[in-house]
Chains A and B, each alone.
Chain A
Amino acid sequence: MGAYFLRRVLFFVPTLFLITLLSFLISQSAPGDPVEQMLSGRAGSGGEQLAERQATQQAYLQKRQELGLDLPIFYFAITPLAEPETLHHIPRVQVQEALRRLVYRFGNWPVVQAYYHALLKLDSAFYASAADPAWGETRSEVQALLSLLPQEKQYEEILYKLRQLRERLLPSLLPFHAAVQAAVEALPQTAQPWKVYIPTLQWYGTANQYHRWLVNFLQGNFGISYQDKRPISQKLFEAVRWSLVINLISIVLAYLIAIPLGVLSAVRRGSATDQSISISLFMLYSLPSFWVGTMGIVFLCGGDYLALFPPGGVQSTEHSVEWPLWQRLVDWGYHLILPVIVYTYGSLAFLSRQMRTALLETLQQDYVRTARAKGLPEKSVTWKHAFRNSLIPIITLLASVFPAMISGSVILETIFSIPGMGFLSYGAMVARDYPVIIAVFTIGAVLTLIGILVADVLYAVVDPRISYTRK
């Protein structure tokens, strides 16, 4: 048993590692620049004056360092020889991405770098010469081109944009433009595409984004929400209460109803009772909960039809902390009836079917036949002998239900506007608040993992016949 437990936990660690890696990878593929998101786009707009631009650039760099986004992504990297080690130092994700594409196409980093530096020089020369009235209308066009150019991934587009730029620049800036043009034209001439096909290994150690993210995550620091700049852990903590309350109630209810139902249909196997229970449970099982929820909202919660229940939310608008406790409880209870029903019926159907199968299997065991042969009354055989053993698989199901409970049901909480984890992550999905989405996913994944671990261990504890020492 101890050995099994140890092995199980030992397997838990690498799986946990893989799962955190997966969610980190997903978070990496989220579009947009996280630093700009955190600064609410202030850094992106830049400014008119060179000094102003330098200040925003400074703010961007500072924020980026604060978030650790100037670090390499992972402990090590296997990259083509062409891709330089220093690429992640370049500010702005889009610029990094564009330069990376160029490197993958031409394989010659020094020339790509020369192009980038020439571009930077042109940019600062342009903003240093701001006061000239000779610009007229074209100034804003040049500005737009200058901000788009570093993000351009397609070589042909770069050439096109450079041509446009030359027609609009003042003569004093043309030498800077010529430098950029020369660097760009040098790209295909000095291309070394073979460098893309030679893999190299680079080692970065623990000073990397993933390590930082993982350590923060294990300390309960999930980052900052894009939407309201609050710590995600705080938002999650507020949300998780409602998911917990509703799910606890509905799970207890589901077990309370499902077990007797399952026993009834197993004991009367094949009878009309069994068949009608089985068929209705089967229908319930296939009934999409978001349909039932929507129907409930449309038909029972005000609108044009019955107004039996409030239209979503967990408390009425006049609800206040000054109310006596019973009144608050009644208010909450009134709001939660419909959601709890919808939450319950799905798991109810699933659990009763499991209960029925488990009891049917137990009733065919030899020891049950022995008990019957001894002349024990049927009731005692069912409840004292068979029932207890058939509970084992049902109880272990609880452990796998728990994680679903925490991550909440995204759809149901959205339908009933319950401010839980699911609703929180739906809001984040709509608002493209990636750190929140990733945090909810990672927590859900880790809890699923723990749930499965607990279920396996529970199973081994309650059923001594199961031996895990040898596969």
Chain B
Amino acid sequence: MSVAISYSPRARAWETFKKNRIAYISLWVVGFLGVVALLADFLAYNKPIVASYQGKTIWPIFRDYGERWFGLKLWEAELRKVDWRAIEVDWAVWPLVRYVPEELDLRNAPAVGPFDEQFIRSPAEKHPLGTDNLGRDLLSGLIHGTRISLTVGLVSVGISALIGILLGAMAGYFGDSTLQVSRATLWLGTLGLLLGLFYAFYVRRFALGEALSSGFLPFLGSFFLSLLWLVGVTGIVWLPSRLLKKTRWGGQRVYVWVDLTISRLIEIMISLPTTLLIFTVAAIAKPSLFLVMAVIGLTSWTGIARFTRGEMLKVRSLDYIQAARALGYSDLRIMFLHALPNSLAPVLVSIAFGIASAILVESGLSFLGIGVPPTTVTWGSLLASARSATGAWWLAVFPGLAIFLVVTLFNVLGEGIRDAIDPRLQAR
């Protein structure tokens, strides 16, 4: 058997990672869960995927998609409210579970177990893992909960990675004695930034708040407008510095303490009790999943920032960066195109662990019923239902098992990546 051996560090890390069987399998399982999350509606839904009704072939799930996402009118009036499990169809291809998570099956409430007798029309309508207190299907909740858990993990870690990588890269690359600007730019730029923040986020705070409560997309639009204000105002205030630069005072070059400022910011963030902060904010604000993700993301970027900073410190003194400087590339170009890609490996470790802990925090929050809207079915809220339904072992076991599985998977992934990219460990 011929094996292509490649000697780039990335390829070597990948080879090492693949040799770690448990980590490699975990990666596949995470991928599988991702597919489950994407296709949740085709695995558990109260309508068939495709059915023939009175001689017509209908794709009910896709019709629902069209109505929900594109605002189309696809359902005939007589079929709109119909319970597909109860009507006579010629044939139908059903999802694995024939319930949506929020659906209250009152005949199977409170809390019917997987081995108990269930009140169902046919064996295909069984609740495979039982129901909760309100008669909601557990397996359906678990399948759709995968989507929520993974979304929370990815979005919140996405936010923290964005902040952490950006700040960490700047702190590590520039340090305290690299970035030199004219005094005029420094002062006018700072003033402009403060004014920009004032207009973008203080004057516009009511508009932003209203947009947030009306949905994610309006908020994004309003937020973008705020960013425009920020950039615009900062730019306008900074503009005169081009003239001031010519004076003796304004033209003097000064160092910007990038590293010092960012390191202090990190220290302050670390000294915040993050979990307590998330709980407090979630308890005070209006319940929303997006808010939970945002708060987790905004409070957990310090680890990533510190890793990126440390790597950047190492990378920036390497010869190829010097070469890039000698070629006259701009700092931003060197930082993002040349230095950053080589500093990202340890961040992957942080990201994997971060996803695990974000999922844990979110399930803890929804376990307590804080921050997440009460109608949203999540793994945490399903586990919490075990507390009110005495003797419902399935409610205690399966949701917890799901949380445990996902958290373990991401922790194993993190360990695996760390082992793969740490050359010190390889040498041992």
Residues of A whose CB lies within 8 Å of any CB of B are 11, 15, 18-19, 22-23, 26, 29-31, 78, 80, 101, 104, 196-197, 199, 282-283, 285-288, 290-292, 294-295, 297-299, 303-305, 403-404, 407, 410-411, 414-415, 425-426, 428-430, 432, 434, 437-438, 440-441, 444-445, 448-449, 452
Contacts and interface: CB of A to CB of B under 8 A. Distances in A.
B390 A30 contact: no
B273 A294 contact: no
22 contacts: A26-B284, A30-B284, A282-B411, A282-B412, A285-B411, A286-B356, A286-B408, A288-B364, A288-B404, A291-B403, A291-B404, A294-B383, A304-B390, A304-B391, A407-B273, A410-B279, A411-B364, A411-B368, A426-B368, A430-B369, A440-B280, A445-B271
Given A29-B284, A80-B203, A286-B356, A18 B407 contact: no
Given A197-B203, A290-B364, A444 B284 contact: no
Interface in B370-428: 370, 383-384, 386-387, 390-393, 396-397, 400-401, 403-404, 407-408, 411-412, 415
B387 A294 contact: yes
A298 B396 contact: yes
Contacts of A196: 203
Contacts of A290: 363-364, 367, 383
A101 B281 CA distance: 24
Nearest to A404: B273
Contacts of B397: 295
Contacts of A30: 284
Given A298-B392, A440-B276, 18 more contacts: A15-B267, A19-B268, A26-B280, A104-B203, A104-B206, A197-B199, A199-B198, A282-B408, A283-B408, A285-B411, A298-B396, A303-B390, A303-B391, A410-B279, A411-B364, A434-B284, A437-B284, A440-B280
Interface in B248-290: 267-268, 270-273, 276-277, 279-281, 283-285
A288 B276 contact: no
B96 interface: no
Nearest to B356: A286
Main secondary structure of the interface of A (DSSP, over half): helix
Contact of B271 (A15, A286, A434): A15
B379 to A, nearest CB: 10
A288 B268 contact: no
Contacts of B198: 78, 199
Contacts of B387: 294, 297-298, 415
A199 B393 contact: no
Contact of B280 (A101, A299, A414, A441): A441
Given A288-B404, A294-B383, A429 B279 contact: yes
Nearest to A311: B390
Contacts of A78: 198, 202
A101 B205 CA distance: 10
B238 to A, nearest CB: 17
Nearest to B367: A290
A291 B400 contact: yes
A448 B368 contact: no
Nearest to A410: B279
A78 B197 CA distance: 12
Most buried by B among A19, A199, A298, A452: A298
Contacts of A425: 279
Given A411-B364, A429-B279, A288 B407 contact: yes
A154 to B, nearest CB: 10
A399 B404 CA distance: 28
Contacts, number: 127
Interface residues of B, number: 47
A360 B370 CA distance: 42
Given A19-B272, A407-B276, A438-B280, A287 B404 contact: yes
A448 B272 contact: yes
Contacts of A430: 369
B115 to A, nearest CB: 14
A331 B9 CA distance: 60
A305 B393 contact: yes
A19 B271 contact: yes
A244 to B, nearest CB: 17
B195 interface: yes
Contacts of A297: 387
Contacts of A197: 199, 203
B360 interface: yes
B395 to A, nearest CB: 8
A24 B22 CA distance: 47
Most buried by A among B267, B368, B397, B403: B368
A445 B411 contact: no
Most buried by A among B271, B364, B393, B415: B271
A3 to B, nearest CB: 18
A430 B203 CA distance: 32
A299 B407 contact: no
Contacts of B273: 403-404, 407, 441, 444-445, 448
Given A30-B284, A437-B283, A15 B268 contact: yes
Contact of A445 (B272, B281, B392): B272
B426 to A, nearest CB: 15
B195 A199 contact: yes
Contacts of B363: 288, 290
Given A286-B408, A441-B277, A445-B272, A294 B283 contact: no
Contacts of B407: 286, 288
Contact of B368 (A23, A283, A414, A428): A414
A18 to B, nearest CB: 6
Nearest to A438: B280
Interface string B166-208: 0000000000000000000000000000010011001100100
A338 to B, nearest CB: 14
Contact of A295 (B202, B284, B369, B400): B400
Most buried by B among A29, A101, A304, A429: A429
Interface in B350-373: 356, 360, 363-364, 367-370
A414 to B, nearest CB: 6
CB-CB nearest 8 A-B residue pairs: A304-B391, A291-B400, A429-B283, A286-B408, A298-B396, A441-B280, A303-B390, A444-B273
Given A298-B386, A410-B279, A445-B276, A305 B391 contact: yes
Interface in B338-360: 356, 360
B270 A452 contact: yes
A359 to B, nearest CB: 15
Contacts of B284: 26, 29-31, 434, 437
